[in-house]
Structure 1
Amino acid sequence: MPQEIIRDDEILNMNLAEMNLAEQITNILLTINQEGKMAQELISGFIQGKMELVKKGYEPIKKIKDDAQRMKESTMEYVVRVSPTLMTKELYMFSLSHLDRISQIIDSIIYRLSILAHSGFTLDQSIAELFSQFSSTSFNMVELLYTESKYLYSNSKKVGEIHDEINRKEDLVDQLYRRLELEIIRKYSNDLFHLLLLKEVVDLIEELSDKIRDASHDFRYISLYKA
């Protein structure tokens, strides 16, 4: 009987820890989603040639990124404290690392766009539509991941559905990336400085979709364990 009571207490502690972690992860993603939405506005401004907007956009993005990083560190400390009762601790640590990288990538994208804006660069309109579709598809995945996190503890079926949608969008991003990469090289082959910077932006947007997919995998595994 005492062993059963101890076992029940362990299960209760684990459930409480996972509920708290799910809430903290959702709060981190709420912050990252705000960062992503602001970044999308700046990317839209970049595409439309509103370079003064882009020039001023990096500092607010950096502030949100720093907030997300502090939240991530606090949550990691919580995982360490509750780890004796948490069988899924490694999955949570992986997911937090992926979220941190997602926020850093968004910061890096806007930093490079601000350099392009300050250099007097304007995006050629012949590739603007493709660039817009590529970036919006990747950044829309941020909001999907945020939505997925809301169901992390409560609805494994919904997590699976959103996970599948994220995978489909990541495949589309890969296809658009290959097309856009070729167009950028063709268009700016005689402008090495801007070519390299713009190529870095495109590479980072593609990496963003990869990391969102990785975080979604983490959420899927966590939800399957709970189920």
Structure 2
Amino acid sequence: MEPVSVVERRVRDLILEHTRRVCEAVRGMVLTIESYTSMDSRGVALHLKRTKQMEGEADDYRRNIYEFLARASPALLNREDWLRLSIDLDKMADLAYSVAYRVSIACDKGWFPPREVVSKLGELAEATLQLCEKLKEALFTYTFNVERALAVCKEIELGEEEIDRMHRDLEMKILEVGAPLPLTMLLRDVCERMESVSDFIIDAVQDLRLIAFYRA
């Protein structure tokens, strides 16, 4: 059986690779939205494909983490915390692809958002990506400075509060502009799913805090 330090280092490396794929999936989501609001159907198709690829690679890492933890579980007391973290990460990638996919459907049908919605939609998408990048920073920093990682976690929580505000503003704007019902429903769905990504980022922050207790 491998020493605990070796096992944790290995699972930590897997989680970091998982997180990189998740962030790239979210980035692909943002680029898909940017292409959509620019009425660039080729860009939408290109970035949707990239988002799907990253979502698939993230899922592969989730399975690798499950398999590794199943073999290494006797040596790792906080195995369940690492599992929860991986699950929360994977949900972010799934949501990112689901947003990009819905946006691609709207683009294919020629359903484009009113100008008043475009900027707020882009702002929410970009803020979601920045929050995901902050999570990646926290997880990377955890490997050598737990206190700094926990400070980044606090920054993430403050950022999520801002995303909540942006989400409420966007949802209200979608209702105010009076777009056709199918587009209104789709935009609200996209808005909700992006907000859910930030919720899972907060869940991942809580997972990381629990993991950090073992190194306190």
Q: Same-fold call, TM > 0.5?
A: yes
Task: Give, as a single letter, the amino acid of the residue that structure 2 aligns with 1:155.
Answer: N
Q: Does residue 115 of structure 1 match 2:105? A: yes
Within the alignment, does 1:171 sit opposite 2:161 as a pair?
A: yes
Aligned-residue Cα RMSD (Å) equals 1.6
5+ residue gaps, structure 2: none
Correspondence for 1:87: 77
DSSP 3-state at the match of 1:146: helix
Q: 2 CA distance for matches of 1:165 and 1:74?
A: 30
Aligned to 2:212: 223
Q: Which TM-score applies when normalising by structure 1? A: 0.90
- The within-5 A match list for 1:126-165 is 126-165=116-155
Kindly indicate whether residue 161 of structure 2 is the aligned counterpart of residue 199 of structure 1.
no
The equivalent residue for 1:76 is 66
2: CA distance, partners of 1:54 / 1:121: 13
Instruction: Tell me which moved more, 43-52 or 98-107.
Output: 43-52
CA contact (8 A) 2:116 2:177 kept: no
Does the 8 A contact of 1:188 with 1:194 survive in 2? no
CA contact (8 A) 1:22 1:152 kept: no
Q: Deviation digits for residues 87-135 of structure 1, max 9, x if unmatched?
A: 1011001101101101101010100000010010222111222222222
Residues 24 and 51, structure 2, Cα contact 8 Å, conserved in 1? no
In 2, Cα distance between the equivalents of 1:35 and 1:179?
25
Summarize deviations over 1:45-82 as a string: whole Å, max 9, x none. 22333233113432221122111101110111111111
Quick one: distance in 1 between partners of 2:199 and 2:209?
15
Contact 1:177 1:202 (C-alpha < 8 Å) held by counterparts: yes
Partner SS for 1:185: helix
Structure 1: gaps (5+ residues): 1-9
* Aligned ranges 1:180-199 → 2 under 5 Å: 180-188=170-178, 191-199=180-188
Letter in 2 for 1:16: V
Query: Cα offset for 1:151?
Result: 2.1
Cross-structure match for 2:33: 43
Compute the TM-score of the two structures, normalised by the length of structure 2: 0.94
Partners of 1:42 and 1:24 in 2: how far apart? 27
Sequence identity, in percent? Answer: 21
- Structure ID, larger Rg: 1
Q: Say yes or no: does 1:210 pair with 2:210.
A: no
Q: Hey, what's the Cα distance between the residues in 1 that align with 2:18 and 2:205?
A: 14
Cα distance in 2, alignment partners of residues 166 and 44 from structure 1: 24
Q: Which moved more, 1:35-44 or 1:17-26?
A: 35-44
